[in-house]
């Protein structure tokens, strides 16, 4: 096997060199996805940024133009306002919303890791058949509707729902607890819906792990727990980072979960943006909220991309 | 030798699986509940399934969503395969880093940001070029294609990375032109990945609420939008029936996909 892998490096080069000969065709293949993503992923952010510098107006579309053209004098004025950003930073409400989103996403990510790690570890150490079955059991909820999985908790957590009924029948509580429409329900919803995103990258790294390293540690006298902390955890780091980022980043901007499971006082920035846009119809302010959220998330996104290209 | 998995590990993993499945099983059970009060058991019944199929609003929305999912999954499969191919098989070119960034970022981008930014783009485009005129199915398809493309690209890229290049090299040495090489060798080899990317895109499109809410127009409510407007007011038995049917369809598809993938792997080696 070693002998065949050596020359493949040189042919790999020639394979790529031969693609170079394609010229125009190659150019087309590159440009199609590139142009699509430029037009519908990248440029939209520029538009959001532009509109975040405008003022809300009662018109169609409901914001002031950035460049005002005076046809009589052939004179254009650039109208830029940072008022939306100033408003965001001056108002306690938005700052609280950002902080509380980061807190909720962070705590949920931690619990997803706590629940996801044993599952990923067990799957990685199972035999081939058990592995396929268990892995499918993790993937199945991931394919099932996100919205419906959040909805499933509504029936469970209601005042007369299953969770309260069970707890009352075993005498844990005397009267139903208010679980739905609390922050706790939001934590639960995020951990639940994002759990597969945590398990899959963890499994990928744990599967590749060399078990003889743990054996070696144990042979040298390390207790299982110590071997876990000193050997398994550091080796699983890329998977842990990937899993945590895949949960944390989208959870910060989550709208559906706080809207369905959270109370009216559950403050999350995704919900604030939604309300600003759909209820107050303040497009420029919603844009500013989005831009600040993007800036907050650029760090974690870069961290995810650089830290573990393999685990993804 | 390391001992078998300890009971503590099995117990905590078992707890995790119960956590994953209990809500889904409860939802399925409730869908067969006769009583209108979802959580009070009133005996077995299929009545809510009948109600579901008689509900025109839900049926219309389901039809719209299916159409959108079919078109966007197909577009995303084509563009995503190209992107995945470019990223793993083409030599470094200017913009490759940018492309790989644009492919991975949509995977984690909060949906409210994607939705808002696409809507603002469509509004700006309409006032500049007059297209897309208004918002509806077309704008939802564009939006869904964009974020599904990323998923297809990642799946295809990882499949290409794990693929032995010797087959492609052999075909080249035998004189295959790059285009026929792609269609005769590479494409069949990555077709399971493209198929699973397509299926993933299809389910993601069918499931999307937030982005569709931003970019859809009046009269174009997708299924998740209708579900959301109903469940916001509380638990409804028809939605339980709908959820059960969707979970059933997805389970069948996933199990079939896993069986197909396993068979493919057996033929092509690990």
Residues in chain A closer than 8 A to B210 (CB atoms): 255-256, 274
Q: Are the beta carbons of A155 and B39 separated by less than 8 Å?
A: yes
Residue A44 belongs to some domain of the structure = no
Instruction: Report yes or no on B264 lying in a domain.
Output: yes
User: What's the confidence (pLDDT) of residue B247?
Assistant: 87
Among B118, B127, B179, the residue with its CB nearest the CB of A40 is: B118
Q: What CATH number has the domain bearing residue B180? A: 1.10.3720.10
Nearest-angstrom CA–CA distance, A238 and A229: 15
Q: Compare CB distances from A118 to B1, B9, B111 and report the shortest one's residue.
A: B9
| Cβ pair A118:B145 closer than 8 A | no
Q: Is the minimum CB–CB distance between A146 and chain B shorter than 8 Å?
A: yes
> Does A104 touch chain B if contact means CB atoms closer than 8 Å?
no
pLDDT of amino acid A264: 86
Residues in chain B with CB shorter than 8 Å from the CB of A29 are 82, 85-86, 90
Instruction: Compare A153 and A22 and report the one with higher pLDDT.
Output: A153
Least confident of A302-311, B46-55, B107-116: A302-311
Is B108 part of any domain? yes
Quote the percentage of chain B above a pLDDT of 70: 94
Tell whether A228 is within 8 A of chain B (Cβ).
Answer: no
pLDDT at A61 over 90: no
| Closest by Cα among B195, B217, B198 to B206 | B198
The answer to whether A231 touches A244, Cβ cutoff 8 Å, is no
Task: Give the pLDDT confidence score for residue B236 in this predicted structure.
Answer: 82
Residue ranges making up the domain that contains B103: 38-54+67-268
- Interface confidence, given as ipTM, is 0.85
Is residue B19 situated within a structural domain?
no
| CA A266 to chain centroid | 19
**What whole-number distance in Å separates Cα of residue A123 and Cα of residue A117?**
10
- Per-residue pLDDT, averaged over B44-59, amounts to 88
Residues B215-260 pLDDT 10s: 998 888 999 999 999 888 877 888 889 989 988 888 887 787 777 7
Q: Is A142 on the interface with B (CB under 8 A)?
A: no
pLDDT (0 to 100) of residue B2 = 47
End-to-end CA distance of chain B: 26
Does residue B26 lie in a domain region? no
CA distance A276 to A289: 9
- For residue B270, the model assigns a pLDDT of 41
Answer whether B124 sits within 8 Å of A12, measured CB to CB: no
pLDDT greater than 60 at residue B92: yes
Is A192 close to B23, i.e. CB distance below 8 A? yes
pLDDT of residue A7: 46
Name the residue range of residue A201's domain.
86-307
As a residue count, chain A comes to: 312
Compute the distance between CA of residue A303 and CA of residue A34 in angstroms, rounded to an integer. 23
Q: Which residues contact B139 (CB under 8 A, 6 or more apart)?
A: B118, B119, B122, B132, B215, B216, B217
Higher pLDDT, A274 or B173: A274
Q: For residue A312, is pLDDT > 50?
A: no
Q: What is the CATH number of the domain that holds A136?
A: 1.10.3720.10
A212-270 pLDDT, tens digit per residue, is 887 888 888 888 788 888 888 888 888 999 899 999 999 999 999 999 999 888 889 99
Number of domains present in the structure of chain A? 1
Is residue B5 assigned to a domain? no
Residue A289 lies in a domain: yes
Q: Does residue B16 fall inside a structural domain?
A: no
Q: Which residues in B lie closer than 8 A to residue A115 (C-beta atoms)?
A: 12, 15-16, 19
- Domain presence at residue B203: yes
Contacts A41 to B, Cβ<8 Å: 102, 105-106, 146
Q: What is the domain count for chain B?
A: 1
pTM for this one?
0.85
Tell me what pLDDT residue A235 has. Answer: 87
B123 in any annotated domain: yes
Question: How many angstroms separate the CA atoms of A23 and A40, rounded?
Answer: 26
For residue B221, the chain A residues in CB contact (below 8 A) are none
Nearest CB to A147; choose among B149, B228, B262: B228
Minimum Cα–Cα distance from A193: chain B residue: B20
Residue A139 contacts residue A204 (beta carbons within 8 Å): no
């Amino acid at each position: 096997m070693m002998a065949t892998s050596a020359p493949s490096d040189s042919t790999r080069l020639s394979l790529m060199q031969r693609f170079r000969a394609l010229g125009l065709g190659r150019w087309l293949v590159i440009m199609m996805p590139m142009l699509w993503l430029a037009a519908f992923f990248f440029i939209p952010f520029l538009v959001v940024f532009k509109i975040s510098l405008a003022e809300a107006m009662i018109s169609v579309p409901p914001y002031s133009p950035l460049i005002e053209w005076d046809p009589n004098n052939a004179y254009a004025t650039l109208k830029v306002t940072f008022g939306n950003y100033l408003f965001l930073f001056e108002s306690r409400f938005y700052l609280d919303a950002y902080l509380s989103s980061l807190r909720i996403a962070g705590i949920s990510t931690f619990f997803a890791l706590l629940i996801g790690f044993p599952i990923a570890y067990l799957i990685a150490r199972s035999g081939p058949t058990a592995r396929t079955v268990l892995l499918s059991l993790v993937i199945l909820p991931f394919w099932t509707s996100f919205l419906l999985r959040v909805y499933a908790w509504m029936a469970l957590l209601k005042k007369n729902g299953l969770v309260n009924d069970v707890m009352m029948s075993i005498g844990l509580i005397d009267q139903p607890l208010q679980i739905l429409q609390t922050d706790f329900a939001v934590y639960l919803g995020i951990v639940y819906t994002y759990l597969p995103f945590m398990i899959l990258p963890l499994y990928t790294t744990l599967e590749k792990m060399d078990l003889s390293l743990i054996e070696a540690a144990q042979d040298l006298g390390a207790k299982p727990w110590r071997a876990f902390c000193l050997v398994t955890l550091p080796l699983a780091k890329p998977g842990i980072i990937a899993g945590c980022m895949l949960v944390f980043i989208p959870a910060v901007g989550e709208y559906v979960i706080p809207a369905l499971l959270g109370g009216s006082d559950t403050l999350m920035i995704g919900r604030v943006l939604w309300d600003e846009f759909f209820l107050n119809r303040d497009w420029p302010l919603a844009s500013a909220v989005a831009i600040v959220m993007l800036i907050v998330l650029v760090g974690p996104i870069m961290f995810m991309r650089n830290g573990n290209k393999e685990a993804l | 030798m390391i001992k078998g998995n300890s009971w503590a590990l099995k117990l905590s993993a078992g707890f995790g699986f119960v956590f994953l499945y209990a809500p889904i099983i409860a939802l399925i059970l409730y869908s067969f509940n006769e009583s209108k009060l979802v959580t009070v058991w009133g005996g077995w019944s299929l009545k809510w399934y009948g109600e579901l199929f008689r509900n025109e609003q839900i049926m219309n929305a389901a039809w719209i969503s299916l159409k959108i999912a079919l078109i966007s999954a197909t577009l995303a499969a084509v563009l995503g395969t190209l992107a995945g191919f470019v990223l793993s098989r083409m030599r470094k070119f200017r913009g490759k880093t940018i492309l790989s960034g644009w492919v991975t970022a949509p995977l984690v981008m909060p949906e409210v940001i994607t939705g808002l930014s696409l809507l603002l783009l469509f509004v700006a485009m309409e006032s500049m070029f007059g297209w897309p005129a208004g918002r509806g199915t077309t704008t939802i398809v564009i939006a869904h294609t964009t974020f599904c493309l990323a998923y297809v690209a990642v799946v295809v890229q990882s499949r290409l990375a794990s693929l032995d290049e010797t087959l492609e090299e052999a075909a080249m040495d035998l004189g295959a032109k790059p285009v026929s090489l792609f269609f005769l060798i590479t494409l069949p080899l990555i077709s399971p990945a493209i198929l699973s990317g397509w299926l993933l895109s299809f389910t993601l499109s069918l499931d999307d609420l937030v982005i569709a809410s931003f970019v859809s127009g009046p009269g174009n409510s997708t299924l998740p939008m209708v579900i959301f407007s109903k469940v916001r007011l509380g638990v409804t038995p028809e939605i339980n029936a709908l959820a059960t049917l969707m979970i059933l369809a997805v389970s069948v598809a996933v199990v079939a996909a896993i069986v197909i993938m396993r068979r493919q792997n057996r033929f092509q080696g690990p």
